[in-house]
Amino acid sequence: MIEARDGRRVVITGVGVLAPCGIGADAFWAGLSKPAEPVINRSIDDFDAAEWGLKHVDVRRIDRFAQLAIAASALARRDAGIEKDSPYDPYRCGVMMGTGIGGAYAWESNAEVLMEKGAKNVSPLVVPMVMPNAASANVSIRSGFTGPVETITTACAAGTHAVGHGARLIASGRADLMLAGGSESCQTPVMNNGFQNMKALSPTGISRPFDIARDGFCSAEAAAVLVLEEYEAAKARGATIYAEIAGTASTADAHHITAPSPNGAGAVACMRAALADAGIDADAVTHVNAHGTSTQLNDAAEAIAVREVFAASRPAVTSIKGVTGHSLGAAGAVEAAAVALSYRHRELPPTMHVTQLDPELDIDVVLEPRFWDPAPAVSNSFAFGGHNGTLVFRPI
């Protein structure tokens, strides 16, 4: 990173992920190449809070989005070999989580209690359950990490921004290890009907990014956490390294509260800034993990931006949302996990459920699992409000 202090580099040493297509890195990776059932709202049906040390009383006091974050962080720490003990000073270890909504279930259920049973029956714990920082706070408590513990809420870019900000804290010398990612679980009646009434959801329940017949996204719950460490320290302790986070950037469209800038200008600026941060030329990038929501406007704007930035090289583009659905504030973290696993498996996952690519988009969309010789890669997130986030990865 250009902003690194004393040449500090940031690497991924652990991956923890829960998504509708699988719990754990292996199941998640396998699920990315399997067709998904046509379902508008995709949930993690196999999630059992008790498996992650959450007792019945904990489940009553912690909203589901934070429960998923606890599980993802446990998986990531296990994968990194720091499940029980960290080799670092706890004040040099932190948590950086993103979420778009926060504790939606706790909010809506207590709103119902208020209306039906009266004010005295509202839970006294509703505030710590609803607050968006509940995920990072609970992960901090369970990990014992007492360094920077923060939450980023930039809608569907939050997970990417959280990973990027966590990496910057390590590069700048303010931390040695960060648990960075995102979590979301907000398939409540109000949220579902809100998205439905704004025509954002696919009425067919099929997510088909970059397809000529794309008709909206499928909402999903998910959580993903990456263990980020300073490279030399990770190497010294014998950690297994997935890849380096070489650069990151954040921009805004300043265009519309929900629609992206139609010419992709904000996305172009974000990708170019992240590449500059990494010190990597656009021609060196061979893979773009796209935001790819399966909406008409997003996919078109992102394709324009990719063509603008990578015109000479035409990198392979994939969107995993054909399988995972769109997990809002968790999406960027889930996709960062997919990129890390692509380095591990030397393969790019397909963009599922595409039957006819939109010829107007003119990008190289990966339709079948494709062998990949690891090289610099980019992961994008573009959010309501015009928030843009980009991460740049490179092999070690």
Enumerate the active-site residues. Answer: 156, 291, 326
* Residue 9, both tokens: 């580099």
For residue 314, the Cα-to-chain-centroid distance in whole angstroms is: 24
* Residue 310, both tokens: 């990578």
**Cα angle value 238/243/249 (rounded, 5°):** 130
**Nearest-angstrom CA–CA distance, 271 and 282:** 9
**Half-sphere exposure (CA, 13 Å, Cβ side) for 100?**
29
What 3 state SS string does the chain have? CCCCCCCCCEEEEEEEEEECCEECHHHHHHHCCCCCCCCCEECCCCCCHHHHCCCHHHHHHCCHHHHHHHHHHHHHHHHHCCCCCCCCCHHHEEEEEECCCCCHHHHHHHHHHHHHHCHHHCCCCHHHHHCCCHHHHHHHHHHCCCCCEEEECCHHHHHHHHHHHHHHHHHCCCCCEEEEEEEECCCCHHHHHHHHHCCCECCCCCCCCCECCCCCECEECEEEEEEEEEHHHHHHCCCCCCEEEEEEEEEECCCCCCCCCCCCHHHHHHHHHHHHHHCCCHHHCCEEECCCCCCHHHHHHHHHHHHHHCCCCCCEEECCHHHHCECHHHHHHHHHHHHHHHHHHCEECCCCCCCCECCCCCCEECCCCEECCCCCEEEEEECCCCEEEEEEEECC
**Nearest-angstrom CA–CA distance, 321 and 366:** 13
Measured CA distances, 355 to 84, 221, 234, 349, 362 (Å): 46, 25, 43, 16, 15
394 has which bridge partners?
Answer: 244
